[in-house]
Amino acid sequence: MQPGEPSRTALGAATHRAVHQVLEHGRIFTDPLAGRILGSEAASAAKRAEGDVSQRQLRLFIAVRTRFAEDALRTAFARGARQLVVLGAGLDTYAYRNPLGEDLDIFEVDHPDTQDWKRRLLAEAAIPVPGNLTYVPVDFERETLEDGLTLEGFDPGKRTFFTWLGVVPYLAEEVVFSTLAFIASLPGGAQVVFDYGNPPGKVPGAATENLERRAAAVGEPLRSRFETDELHARLRALGFSSIEDLGPSGIRNRFFAGRGGAPLERGGHILLATAR
C-alpha cells in the first residue's frame, strides 16, 4: 500500500467479485452488494472485462475462495462459532448481507486507510452498517492482531471463524505465522480460511507472472509463497489439528465438475485449518 491510500489489491479483488456477478452471473458465488459498493465503476469494469479473457482465471479463483470461505463459515456456525473475524476485509460485503443473523458477531480488520475508504463507499451506496459489526483498524506490519481485537471487544473464549482472503501472499512470512499462532492459541477454539500460492518455478505460466507484475506495479508486491507440505507441517506445529487444502485439481473437482473444467490460477490453494 502507498501511505495515505487504500489498498489497490483490495479494489482489484472487489472488482473481480462484481464482474463475476455480471459475466458468469454469479454462478460460483452470488453477492448482490458486490456491484453496489463499487458504484458506477462496477458496470465499467464489467464492460472492460468482457473482452479481456486474461482476467478470467484470477476472477474465478477469487469467486471460488469466497464461496469456499462462506460455505465453511456456515458449517462452523452450525457447530457453535459465534464470532467472525474478516482479516484484511477490503471491500468484502459479507457483514452487510449476513444470512446468519445477529447471533454472529463480526469484526472487520484492515488498515485504517482502507477502512476509511470502505466506509465512505458504503455511505455513498446507502448500504447500512449492521449493529453486530465492529471495525478494527490494524496495520499488520506494525501492530498485532491480538492488540487490535482486544481493544474492540473481541472475546477469545468464544469459538471464532477467521477469513483471510487475498492477504497472505502480500505479507512477510513472520507476520503470517505470528497471526496463525494467535489464532491457534485462542482458548475458545478457532478455524481460519486463507489462500496461498506455491513458490516460483512450481507454478509456471503467464497468469501467475501477470499477477506478480500487476501487484508490484501498484506497490503491493507478493512476499510470501509456501511449499504445501512444509506449510501443513508448520500449521500442525502451531496447534492446528485438521487441515483441508484445495489446490487446482481439488477446486476443479468441487466447483467445476461437469462444466468442462476451468482455467484457474495454476498455483492457487485455498486452505481451511482448525484448532481444537
3-state DSSP of the chain: CCCCCCCHHHHHHHHHHHHHHHHCCCCCCCCCCCCHHHCCHHHHHHHHHHCCHHHHHHHHHHHHHHHHHHHHHHHHHHCCCCEEEEECCCCCCHHHCCCCHHHCEEEEEECHHHHHHHHHHHHHCCCCCCCCEEEEECCCCCCCHHHHHHHCCCCCCCCEEEEECCCHHHCCHHHHHHHHHHHHHCCCCEEEEEEEECCCCCCCCHHHHHHHHHHHHCCCCCCCCCCHHHHHHHHHHHCCCEEEEECHHHHHHHHCCCCCCCCCCCCEEEEEEEEC
d(C-alpha 273, C-alpha 276), whole Å? 10
**Strand 268-275 and strand 190-197: pairing?**
antiparallel
Residue 216 has a pLDDT of 45
Largest CA distance in the chain: 50
pLDDT digits (tens, 9 = 90+) for 78-134: 999 999 999 999 999 999 999 999 999 999 999 999 999 999 999 999 999 999 999
Question: Given this structure, which CATH class describes domain 8-275?
Answer: alpha beta
* pLDDT (tens place) for every residue of the chain, 276 residues total: 455 577 888 999 999 999 999 999 999 999 999 999 999 999 999 999 998 888 888 999 999 999 999 999 999 999 999 999 999 999 999 999 999 999 999 999 999 999 999 999 999 999 999 999 999 999 876 788 999 999 999 999 999 999 999 999 999 999 999 999 999 999 999 999 999 999 976 554 444 554 454 444 444 578 899 999 999 999 999 999 999 999 999 999 999 887 655 556 557 999 999 998
Residue 266 has a pLDDT of 57
Residue 221 has a pLDDT of 75
Domain coordinates of the chain in residue numbers? Answer: 8-275
